[in-house]
């Protein structure tokens, strides 16, 4: 593969190229032979277009035509009778200029940095066709190595989630009465402001849960339902003990004739 050619295109490509055209030139240079400067695969090969981020063969042919206009490529034959069209990279480096690699000195002796990521010893297996760059092509190379595995939730986040669920926070859908209904200090203070002590709160909470379990009631916010129950308990207490249904208190007769007739 054309590593030296790739570096030449990267450093000396004409400034007038668009980012897409430069990316395509880098991909084609990586596919070419350093000695002959000829491309190996078809310019409309599916993998070549994928690396160059070109949507289809028509778009790729337009880019190749632009590279020919900018004197980056020239047609070297083929393209007829089933033969793959070959393109040759023209010399981009100006005569008498320093070599491309001299513009990019190694950094392994600077502050303990590692050798360049595109060195052969650090290149992951299967990544030879995707050398990382610091310019346009780097967008493709970096994306091919993105970690897609989702992180495993930590123990603290799992614990926090379960605590929130058991604390009776509003749910996204209605549920039956919870198995556990933890009472916190905030709830005790709320009840105390309404005139209910802790023993009464515990007793009413048991009644509240038993009632809704027996009925199969569903609520989205069980805390709100609990507060409603406590308010009603306070109202019943204020009314005093209930009298039997149909009972009428005794009243002395107002008709005095009943006393004269000996009824009383």
Instruction: Note the pLDDT tens digit of each residue in 92-148.
Output: 988 776 654 454 444 444 444 444 555 444 554 544 454 444 444 444 443 444 344
Helix ranges, 97-150 (H): 138-143
pLDDT at 164 over 60: no
Confidence band of 149 (pLDDT split at 50, 70, 90): very low
End-to-end Cα spacing for the chain? 126
Both structure tokens of 24:
């395509």
Which positions ≥6 away from 188 have C-beta within 8 Å? 198, 201
* Residue matched to tokens 């993105």: 146
Task: Show the tokens assigned to 105.
Answer: 């000195």
Do the beta carbons of residue 12 and residue 39 sit within 8 Å? no
State pLDDT tens for residues 175-210.
Answer: 998 888 888 899 999 989 988 898 999 999 999 999
């Amino acid at each position: 593969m054309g590593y030296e050619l790739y570096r030449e295109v990267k450093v000396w490509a004409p400034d007038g190229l668009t980012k897409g055209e430069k990316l395509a030139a880098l991909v084609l240079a990586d596919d070419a032979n350093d000695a002959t400067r000829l491309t190996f695969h078809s310019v409309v090969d599916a993998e070549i277009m994928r690396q160059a981020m070109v949507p289809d063969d028509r778009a790729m042919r337009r880019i190749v035509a632009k590279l020919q206009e900018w004197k980056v490529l020239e047609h070297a034959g083929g393209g007829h009778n089933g033969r793959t069209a070959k393109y040759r990279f023209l010399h981009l480096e100006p005569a008498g200029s320093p070599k491309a690699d001299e513009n990019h000195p190694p950094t392994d002796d600077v502050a303990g940095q590692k050798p360049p990521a595109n060195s052969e010893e650090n290149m992951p297996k299967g990544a030879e066709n995707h050398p990382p760059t610091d310019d346009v092509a780097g967008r493709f190379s970096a994306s091919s190595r993105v970690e897609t595995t989702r992180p495993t939730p930590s123990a603290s986040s799992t614990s926090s989630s379960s605590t929130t669920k058991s604390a009776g926070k509003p749910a996204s859908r209605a549920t039956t009465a919870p198995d556990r209904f933890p009472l916190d200090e905030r709830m005790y203070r709320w009840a105390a402001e309404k005139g209910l002590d802790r023993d009464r709160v515990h007793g009413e909470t048991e009644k509240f849960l038993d009632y809704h379990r027996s009925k199969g009631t569903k609520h989205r916010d069980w805390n709100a339902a609990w507060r409603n129950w406590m308010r009603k308990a306070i109202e019943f207490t204020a009314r005093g003990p209930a009298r039997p249904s149909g009972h009428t208190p005794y009243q002395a007769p107002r008709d005095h004739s009943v006393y004269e007739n000996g009824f009383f």
